[in-house]
Amino acid sequence: MAQVVKRAYKYRFYPTPEQAGELARTFGCVRLVYNMALEERSRAYTAEGRKVSYAETSAMLTAWKRIDRLAFLSEVSSVPLQQALRHLQAGFVNFFAKRAGYPAFKSRKKSRASAEYTRSAFRWRDGRLTLAKMDGPLDIRWSRRLPEGAQPSTVTVSRDAAGRWFVSLLVEETISPLPPVEAKVGVDVGITALVALSTGEKVTNPRHERRDRRKLARAQQALSRKARGSKNRDKARCRVARVHARIADRRRDLLHKFTTRLVRENQTVVIEDLTVGNMLKNHSLARAICDASWREMRGMLEYKTAWYGRELVVVDRWFPSSKLCSGCGARQEAMPLGVRSWACACGAVHDRDVNAARNILAAGLAER
């Protein structure tokens, strides 16, 4: 059965100097309003034991605009400022529900520069997007088409650390489930091979970060030699960010292609419930685990299986997938990481990762 989902389409765009200036001012005002509201809410909670509502912070914003030293808040669109207060409210709701940590202050250098516009603050006409306070539309590079007849409900503009500008359009889209298939697959993630499938296939780990490690080291070394606060240091920081962006883009592209193929070809996908955060405490493997990006892969599988009518089964993290023989079920006493293949007493010879994937599939199907 087809379902209507909210889906964001992200594109790169190239602003004019005037647009870049307006957006930079908006980013600064969004960050300032968020931090001022967070400070006031924290003060009220600490000193008075009182929770401040979104309506109260909205009234504070109106009052702040009347202060001479904050008059510049009235020069940018009010919608991104209100959206910043809504995001802060959502952060406190999640904190009090124990779903997230306490909201943190936004940093000019470390936080993501972004602003969110709702329908009253942008114009969408004939495939051209014009934001509030701007005379002309954004020069967007349409790398893929929006759904036919789609009307954006929210537009988020951002600039990453490498200086690239992006616009994300949130639209409602009708997604039809894929035709049912009989295939089922177990997935064992790894470092030597990015994943091993119960079919016997292995996907090579391209090690994107490792391939660019020398380039990244040179860029970071050049950054460390620049005087703090200088323009040359800003340029060097941007070069480091561009290397990181290249690594992240290639990694994300590979994961999207692989997870999409997995969902299209299989009705049921079974994975392990890995605690990546705990695994990162192993400093010998932390860098390689981050490069493999297992958590991002799982997130993609979760929403893609939900969209396309597939089933994602998660096996308990303590299941000994590597120690069991997928043929007879015998369990080995130990299985060090250095052992990549082994022979069972029943005569079966196993590839460690493929055997684990087959055991994960069997365990997942047994839990359904």
Which residue, of 175, 204, 234, is where some domain finishes?
A: 175
CA distance 19 to 231: 22
State the residue for tokens 């059965």: 1
Nearest of 22, 62, 56 to residue 40 by alpha carbon: 56
One-letter identity of residue 302: E
Catalytic residue among 116, 209, 291, 353: 353
Q: State yes or no: is 68 an active-site residue.
A: no
- E strand segments, the chain: 3-13, 113-118, 122-125, 128-131, 140-141, 154-159, 165-175, 184-189, 193-197, 202-204, 268-272, 311-315, 341-343, 349-351
For residues 236 and 164, membership in a common domain is answered with no
- Identify the residue whose tokens are 């894929």: 178
Q: Which residue, of 175, 202, 230, is where some domain finishes?
A: 175
Indicate whether 199 and 329 sit together in one domain. Answer: yes
Same domain, 193 and 96: no
Residue 253: CB atoms within 10 A of its CB come to: 11
Task: Single out the residue of 281, 275, 277, 287 nearest to residue 247, CA to CA.
Answer: 287
Look up the domain containing 132 and give its range. 3-175
pTM over 0.75: yes
Q: Could you confirm whether 18 is annotated as catalytic?
A: no
At 215 the pLDDT is 94
Is 353 considered catalytic here?
A: yes
Beta bridge partners of 117: 155
Q: Do 216 and 334 belong together in one domain?
A: yes
Q: Which residue of the set 22, 209, 272, 291 is catalytic?
A: 272
**What is the count of structural domains for the chain?**
2
Based on the domain organization, do 141 and 192 belong to the same domain? no
Residue 31 and residue 80: Cα distance in Å, rounded? 10
- Closest to 265 measured CA to CA, from 203, 205, 310, 314: 310
Same domain, 27 and 64: yes
Are 237 and 168 members of one domain? no
Same domain, 135 and 237: no
pLDDT tens by residue, the chain, 368 residues: 788 999 999 999 999 999 999 999 999 999 999 999 999 999 998 998 889 999 999 999 999 999 999 999 999 999 999 999 999 999 999 999 999 999 999 998 888 899 999 999 999 998 899 999 999 999 999 999 999 888 999 999 999 999 999 999 999 999 999 999 999 999 999 888 899 999 999 998 888 888 899 999 999 999 999 999 899 999 999 999 999 999 999 999 999 999 999 999 999 999 998 887 777 777 777 888 888 888 999 999 999 999 999 999 999 988 888 888 988 888 888 888 888 888 888 888 888 899 999 999 999 998 87
* Cβ neighbours of residue 329 closer than 8 Å, sequence gap 6 or more: none
126 and 224 in a single domain? The answer is: no
169 plus 193 within the same structural domain = no
Q: How far apart are CA 280 and CA 34, in angstroms?
A: 32
Tokens standing for residue 77:
């669109």
pLDDT for residue 41: 95
- End position of a domain, from candidates 142, 175, 208: 175
Amino acid at 49: G
Strand partners, 222: none
Write out the two tokens for 236: 């060097």
Are both 277 and 296 inside the same structural domain? Answer: yes
Which residue(s) pair with 6 in the sheet? 172
- Report the 10 Å Cβ neighbour count for 210: 14
Clarify whether residues 246 and 166 are in a common domain: no
**Is 113:158 a contact under the CB 8 Å cutoff?**
yes
Least Cα distance to 289 among 354, 215, 210 occurs for 210
Q: Which of 22, 116, 188, 291 is catalytic?
A: 188
